[in-house]
Structure formats: C-alpha cells, structure tokens
Amino acid sequence: MTTNFWQNKKVIVTGGAGFLGSFVTAKLKERGATDIYIPTIEEYNLVNPNDIRRLYDATLKDFDPKNVVIIHLAANVGGIGANREHPAEFFYDNLMMGVELMHQAYKNGVGKFVAIGTVCAYPKFTPVPFKEDDLWIGYPEETNAPYGLAKKMMLVQAQAYRQQYGFNAIFLLPVNLYGPRDNFNLQSSHVIPALIRKAVEAQEHGEKEPPVWGDGSPTREFLYVEDAADGIVTAAEKYNSDQPVNLGSGYEISIKDLSEMIVKMTGFEGKLVWQTDKPNGQPRRGLDVSRAKELFGWSAQVPFEEGMRRTIQWFKENKKLIESREQTTGH
C-alpha cells in the first residue's frame, strides 16, 4: 500500500545500509518515499557531534525541515561475547549518537524523529510478556546493560523534548531481529545466524558436535526483519505520541527448541553441545505486542518457521560471498 505521507518528505535513515536499514529503505520506497538519504560511515562518524552538524547542514539546506523525517537505526551492536568485551564502546557510541542526533534535529526544526531502541533496555527480570510500562522496574541484564541503557536514554530524551519543546520524537523497541542479510560472523553475530552457520559448517566439515554457548534454557522472541521494517515505517507514518512501543511477533521459543529447529531445517546430522559454563544472557524474553496494534494498527505477518526457511536459504546461497568478504577484511 502506498501512502501520500511520504510525498514531499525527505527521509534520513542512519544505519540505512545495515541489516535492518536495507529493509527499512526498501519499505519506504514501497510506500512512496522518493527522497531518502543514507549517511555512510566513511562520510559521517555519527558519534562525533561535528559530523552530525555537517550531516544536517548538508541535508537540510534549501529544504523545509518540517518535512524531514529521521529514522535513527545506526548502532554499535553485537552478541553476548562482544558486549562483554566492549561495554564502554557500546555505551558511549550509542549514547552519543542518539543524544546528538535528536538534539540537533530539534535545533534544526526537524518534523519527526523515529528513535529505535532495543529489547535489551528491559530489566533483567521483567515479567513475561514484557509490557512497555515495565521498562523502569529494574536494572537490565548485566551483559547488555551498557548498550540497552544507552539506547533507552533516547526514550527519556524523546519524552522530555516532546514535553518541553513539542518535538515529535517517538521511541520503538524491536525484539531480536533475524532474516536474510543478517550478520553471520561468529565473532559478533546474534544467536540465530550463529546457530545456522555452526550447523551448516559442521555438516560440511563432518563435525558431529559443535559447541554452543549456555544451556539452551533461555527463551527469546524473534521478529522477521521485513516485519520490523514494516512496523517502523508504519509508526513513522501514523504514530505521534510519547509512549514507547514494542515491535515483536508475540512468539516465544527456547534457545534449545530453536537450535533443534535449525538442526532439522539445515539438514545437520550431528548434535549441538551446550557449553554450560558460558553465560545464557537474560532468562526470558517475550513482548506484549498489543500496543502497536492498538495505537497504529500494526502486527507481524511472517510466521517464524517461514522466516527461518528464508534466512537459512539466504545463508546457504550467500555463504561463499560471506567467507570471501571475511578473508578480505580479516573479520
């Protein structure tokens, strides 16, 4: 469905070349957006306030800022291992990007700012399903806390700037994403791409028992990346309020069941061995997804098994390309 919301609008998508960003950009085009700008990391280091100033100077020149929508997806992000090794960078980089992008957008009179948070912002022992009203009932899971809290500050900022300045900033909380074009690098990937790659490579190498972190007991909810993009673009069009909104599928699965599904779907004939001395991360994660439906009529459409099938197929088709890129870049 195209909508005239995007007519005469300029959209700046930070992180627009990344995993989620590429799907958001495609969804924007599908909905009728024609003026989309994606700042590249080579040109703008968004952790640096001067680069953000340069970005806005260049993109807002000769354009009515009221017709500009900023979708801030850029993040310095990784799995449990990366979070344990780089907590300071995850905190600083994500905090500085969010705070300055939103502040300077307000200063420049930008019409709308869509801030993308993270499910890692939720307290470690939030009752499941996670409701947006429970965001402040405790401290996040320690491994992810620096990243989760840095992103959560955009909610505080969005609410404060709306209250004091009438600035239209919204805050969305997508659950763990998965899908084609995800990061399949084992040093920094999330659980689904890591398990898919381990299973596919173990099958190829005749390995019978590849190791997996944790004991498989935690549960997670996953949202197919195309659904997430649809939710973000729909919220950009229709939602203008201060309440944070979850974007999820409403489907919770244990890591153990997930791994068994991946073993079956990849054709791997061995079994995964749990490294129980490694951390599990947050014990349970599942979202209450009713607010998005209620406030802007959005719900996820792609069933989990179908999304997994598409993801595994994409990885198998692109595996050689991924490997050659890793050899070239060294990671």
Indicate whether 257 belongs to any domain.
yes
**In the structure encoding, which two tokens stand for residue 12, read together?**
């700046």
- Per the model's pLDDT, the better-predicted residue between 84 and 20 turns out to be 20
Kindly tell me if the per-residue pLDDT of 187 is higher than 90: no
E strands, the chain, are 10-14, 35-37, 68-72, 112-116, 169-174, 176-178, 211-213, 219-224, 245-247, 252-254, 273-275
CATH number for the domain that contains residue 62: 3.40.50.720
pLDDT band for 5, please (50, 70, 90 cuts).
Answer: very high
- Give the predicted TM-score (pTM) of the model: 0.94
What would the pLDDT profile of 122-132 be if each residue is shown by its tens digit? 999 999 999 99
Q: Is 147 a catalytic residue?
A: yes
- Work out the average pLDDT over 111-129: 95
Tens of pLDDT, residue by residue over 21-65, are: 999 999 999 999 999 999 999 999 999 999 999 999 999 999 999
330 found inside a domain: no
pLDDT at 310: 98
In degrees rounded to 5, what are phi and psi of residue 215? -120, 5
Percent of the chain with pLDDT over 90: 84
The parent domain of residue 119 ranges over 4-323
pLDDT band at 83 (very low <50, low <70, confident <90, very high): confident
**Structural domain contains residue 199:** yes
pLDDT higher than 70, residue 1: no
Total domains in the fold of the chain: 1
Quick: pLDDT tens for 194-236. Answer: 999 999 999 999 999 988 888 999 999 999 999 999 999 999 9
pLDDT of residue 279: 81
Is 329 among the domain residues?
no
Exposure string (b/e) for 262-284, b if CB count within 10 Å is 16 or more?
Answer: bbebbebeeebebeeeeebbbeb
**Is residue 328 assigned to a domain?**
no
User: Per the residue annotation, which of 147, 161, 178, 224 is the catalytic one?
Assistant: 147
Identify whether 331 is part of a domain.
Answer: no
Report how far apart, in Å, the C-alpha atoms of 225 and of each of 90, 109, 177, 307 are: 22, 31, 6, 9
The mean pLDDT value of the chain amounts to 94
Residue 271 reports pLDDT greater than 90: no
Does residue 263 surpass a pLDDT of 60?
Answer: yes
pLDDT at 3: 55
State residue 118's pLDDT score. Answer: 93
